[in-house]
Chain A
Amino acid sequence: MITSLQNPLALVAELTHRCPLHCVYCSNPLELQSRSTELSTEVWSRVFKEAAAAGVLQADLTGGEPLARPDIVDLVRHTRAVGLYVSLITSGLPLDQAKLDALVQAGLDHFQLSFQGAREETSNDISGTKSHQHKLRVLEWLKRYRIGLTLNFVIHRRNIDELEEMLTIVEESGAGCVEFASVQYYGWAFANRENLLPTREQLDYCVERLHRAEKELQGKIRVVFVVPDYYAKFPKPCVGGWGRKLMLITPKGDALPCHAAPVIPGLKFENVKNRSLREIWERSEAFQKFRGEDWMQEPCKSCDRREQDFGGCRCQAMLVAGDAAATDPVCSLAPQRPKVDAILAKISGAPPDLRQLTRSDWRYRPNPW
């Protein structure tokens, strides 16, 4: 196994779980880690150095809100200095012009700004914070710099009808890339699933409109669409395959094969305070658990697509099918697919009018101490 093991290519650094936004689909776990447990600047710097030495090319500095770390400029500088490509995945909220300038000077390669909608009312409802106007200001500031810019719109039933207005924001922004990422149902999104899943009609409209946008914007703006996999025929190749490409480090230093992995009972995670990154990649029990094909059951085990989608997502198998080694239940070949169909039938049978939802209908993510 170890001799044929590839390098990790991407390091996702969840610098903190603190965030001024309270998004109803946040991918952070329900049990958020507090400030007092967060890794120090020194430990993060060592982690980035070890990542580059292990073959990692790209570091995504994320959270929570990575700008909530007072040492964010130093962390960007350290990450870039060891040779990694540095992306900041941010809401843009605690940002002013001086901080942006310092981040760019420190070597930030790529700024990924999240949007919760195209309209102020929607965005503020979804994020539980007045945030939309500030994001538009950040977009204006960014025009002064020659760095990569991606806009990220998380798409769901409440905002999918604003697609046209979202595209207008994108075209005026100067971004090189836009991601329309359908909500994936883990963490807080799983808790709010019935209010977030789009209808089949909404999805069809979205696919058609983005297909057109992709052609219209080719060579100017790259359009990426992440499908809502409950509607898919085959599962997504989650994190490019378990323990194949990606490592995620939580604020307190646990090394995970993907952000949702703690939902799988019995997985033991190593901590970067005690082990080197390479050691964790090669030997950690959690990374080995679903690496390769030995863990697979039928129909995955003999499926032609097993090297394409790696059986889909282990965490989704756990959450929906109750077995982390099952075929991802969104797969049309999965024995547990009827569970997903039942959820979809409920949505299309009686879609609640989301415009009448009030804040008490959502489960908002809190800001940990």
Chain B
Amino acid sequence: MSLDLNSRPRLAPGCRMGENNNQRVLLMPERALRLNGPSLEIVSRCDGKHSVSQIIGELQLLYSKAEPHRVAQDILGYLALLQKERALDFEM
């Protein structure tokens, strides 16, 4: 399944950010994911307002020492994983 760069990801019903012992987590039905560094930056932009390409652009700036193409690939891979976990809705 390929992601539309103009779509705007948003946390799916039943998914939200949480925090425990200073660790940010993505809470989902029956499971949770630890969020650190890049994963936290990505998930906090899945607000239904940022498009996929905006998220890529902002993280390329934030991680300007990394190779831009690599940053884009990593973000697309992570969003695809979250989609498979049913943690995201993509709004057009």
Contact = CB atoms under 8 A, between A and B. Distances in A.
A99 B17 CA distance: 26
Interface string B61-72: 000000000000
Contact of B29 (A56, A83, A87): A87
Interface residues of A, number: 25
Contact of B14 (A56, A149, A218, A221): A149
A127 interface: no
Contact of B30 (A147, A150, A219): A150
Nearest to B3: A219
Contacts of B21: 7, 55
A52 B20 contact: yes
Contacts of A347: none
Given A58-B27, A58-B32, A109 B16 contact: yes
Interface string A35-73: 000000000000000001001111000000000000000
Contact of A83 (B14, B20, B85, B86): B20
A146 B11 CA distance: 11
B8 to A, nearest CB: 16
A57 B25 contact: yes
B89 to A, nearest CB: 9
A291 interface: no
Nearest to A109: B14
Nearest to B19: A83
Nearest to B13: A146
Contacts of B27: 57-58, 85, 109
Contacts of A146: 13
A176 interface: yes
Given A83-B19, A109-B16, A110-B14, A218 B30 contact: no
A239 interface: no
B13 A83 contact: no
Interface string B1-21: 100000000001111101111
A177 B20 contact: no
Contacts of B29: 87, 109-110, 112, 148, 150, 176-177
B83 A147 contact: no
Contacts of A191: none
A176 B18 contact: no
A320 interface: no
Among all A-B residue pairs, the 4 with the closest Cβ atoms = A148-B14, A222-B86, A85-B27, A148-B29
